[in-house]
């Protein structure tokens, strides 16, 4: 694609990459985002993994969310993405729709952004006779059952929104790859997935033709966005960057980051304890792991399946909370100050939710 065409604002480039290795299905949109410059068009990427794998959200801690031993024993790669959300099993039965746009091309409000992204997905399902609907904050449902979720992130100059069209889903494997406290809990997860998740195959009684579904999706995306969608190819710059990211994402340093303090409720000495707490909120699960010294937060790690922008916000909150008295008013004030100073957006997750999660650390 020439630079003149790339700079045409009403044109969205389509990268329809088909089946790619698991890690590439994640690194491709990261590379396109970080390579974005004044000559790069807004881009929609269509891709699916050639082999099954497990993917965790940027703010999650691998060993707390995923049964690492099971994944290794069954040859399932594990990949950390740079957008929020939870751990999920992925395979070629899902086609990913990855939007990499300039910031001015998408709504500033994250809730409006999710609604825009979901609209062509919902209309595609409707075209197939599936009565899907947008379920805020970022899900797609059919008669109360989830048929897809979305995630968002900021990378370089780009805004990224990701999701998928769900042709089918391996519920049994999904329940196996998650880290759980007991087999009873695993059984409950399996039954819950069966009851509250659905797919195109389940809804229609057959798996529709992929090319036909993708054609419908592109027509709906064009109508929703009011812009032309033109097939293209990755640039040399994007190819070079994706190869670098393939290597980076395969390292333990990338996969195991945000490990934080692993033990919960451990007494180091009389005035120092390592504690852990978790709170489920409308915006996702918050995990708090902290070292508390003489009634103050000495060190803290925030993780979970929430969405928070900008992507460095959790780290800034962690730094800001150090030295804060473990008291509701002090914690709330520090969090609210950070929300104002760096314009944090966290759909479904309030400053009060974060305060409540942190204050669970004070319980005996």
Query: Helices 236-249 & 22-34, crossing angle to 10 degrees?
Result: 130
Identify the pLDDT of residue 326.
Answer: 95
Identify the pLDDT of residue 257.
Answer: 82
Identify the pLDDT of residue 269.
Answer: 58
Give the span between the Cα atoms of 212 and 170, in whole angstroms: 23
Q: Domain spanning 3-255: which CATH class is it, in words?
A: alpha beta
Mean pLDDT by 10 residues, the chain (364 residues): 47 97 97 92 98 93 93 97 89 97 93 96 98 92 91 91 96 92 84 90 97 98 97 96 96 79 49 84 92 88 92 93 95 97 95 96 83
Place of tokens 């650390």: 361
State the Rg of the chain over Cα.
Answer: 21
Strand order in the sheet with 296-304: 266-269, 272-281, 284-293, 296-304
Strand order in the sheet with 158-166: 151-155, 158-166, 94-102, 43-49, 11-20, 228-231
Identify the pLDDT of residue 266.
Answer: 62
Q: What is the model's pTM?
A: 0.83
Bridge partners for 285 per DSSP:
280
Bridge partners for 11 per DSSP:
228
Identify the pLDDT of residue 51.
Answer: 97
Alpha-carbon distances of 79 from 55, 155, 188, 280, rounded to whole Å? 5, 17, 25, 24
Q: Up-side HSE of residue 135: CA atoms within 13 Å toward CB?
A: 15
Place of tokens 């790339």: 6
Q: What is the pLDDT of residues 237-277, one digit of tens each?
A: 999 999 999 999 999 999 998 643 333 356 545 567 878 89
Would you kindly state where each structural domain of the chain is located, as residue ranges? 3-255, 266-362
DSSP 104: G
**Domain 266-362, CATH 3.40.50.460 — does that match?**
no
Identify the pLDDT of residue 291.
Answer: 85
ω into 310 cis (within 30 of 0)? yes
Nearest to 81 by CA among 334, 329, 255, 332: 255
Strand, coil or helix: what is 157?
coil
The runs of H, that is alpha helices, within the chain are 3-6, 22-34, 62-65, 68-73, 110-127, 171-177, 183-196, 200-204, 210-225, 236-249, 252-255, 313-321, 328-341, 351-359
């Amino acid at each position: 694609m020439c630079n003149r065409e790339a700079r045409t604002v009403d044109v969205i480039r389509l990268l329809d990459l088909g089946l790619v290795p698991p890690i590439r299905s994640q690194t491709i949109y990261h590379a396109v985002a970080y390579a974005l410059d004044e000559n790069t068009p807004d881009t929609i990427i269509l891709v699916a993994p050639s082999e099954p794998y497990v993917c965790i959200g940027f703010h999650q801690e691998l060993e707390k969310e995923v049964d690492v031993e099971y994944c290794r024993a069954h040859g399932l790669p594990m990949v950390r993405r740079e957008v929020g959300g939870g751990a999920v099993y992925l395979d070629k039965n899902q086609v990913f729709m990855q939007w990499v746009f300039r910031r001015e091309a998408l709504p500033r409000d994250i809730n409006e952004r999710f609604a825009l992204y979901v609209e062509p997905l919902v209309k595609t399902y409707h075209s197939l006779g599936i009565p899907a609907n947008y379920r805020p904050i970022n899900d797609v449902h059919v008669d109360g059952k989830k048929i897809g979720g979305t995630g968002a992130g900021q990378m370089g100059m780009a805004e990224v929104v990701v999701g998928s069209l769900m042709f089918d889903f391996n519920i049994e494997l999904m329940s196996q790859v998650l880290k759980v406290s007991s087999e009873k809990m695993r059984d409950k997860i399996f039954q819950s997935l069966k009851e509250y998740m659905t797919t195109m195959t389940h809804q229609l009684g057959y798996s529709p033709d992929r090319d036909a579904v993708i054609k419908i999706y592109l027509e709906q995306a064009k109508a929703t966005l009011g812009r032309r969608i033109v097939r293209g190819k990755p640039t040399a710059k994007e190819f070079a960057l994706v190869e670098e990211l393939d290597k980076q994402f395969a390292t333990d340093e990338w996969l195991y980051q945000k490990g934080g303090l692993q033990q919960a409720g451990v007494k180091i000495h009389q005035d120092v304890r390592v504690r852990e707490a978790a709170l489920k909120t409308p915006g996702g699960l918050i995990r708090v792991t902290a070292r508390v010294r003489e009634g103050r937060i000495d060190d803290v790690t925030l993780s979970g399946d929430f969405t928070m922008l900008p992507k460095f916000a959790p780290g800034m909150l962690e730094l800001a909370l150090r030295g804060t008295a473990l008291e509701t008013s002090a914690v709330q004030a520090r969090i609210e100050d950070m929300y104002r100073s760096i314009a944090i957006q966290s759909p479904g997750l309030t400053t009060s939710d974060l305060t409540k999660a942190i204050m669970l650390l004070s319980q005996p």
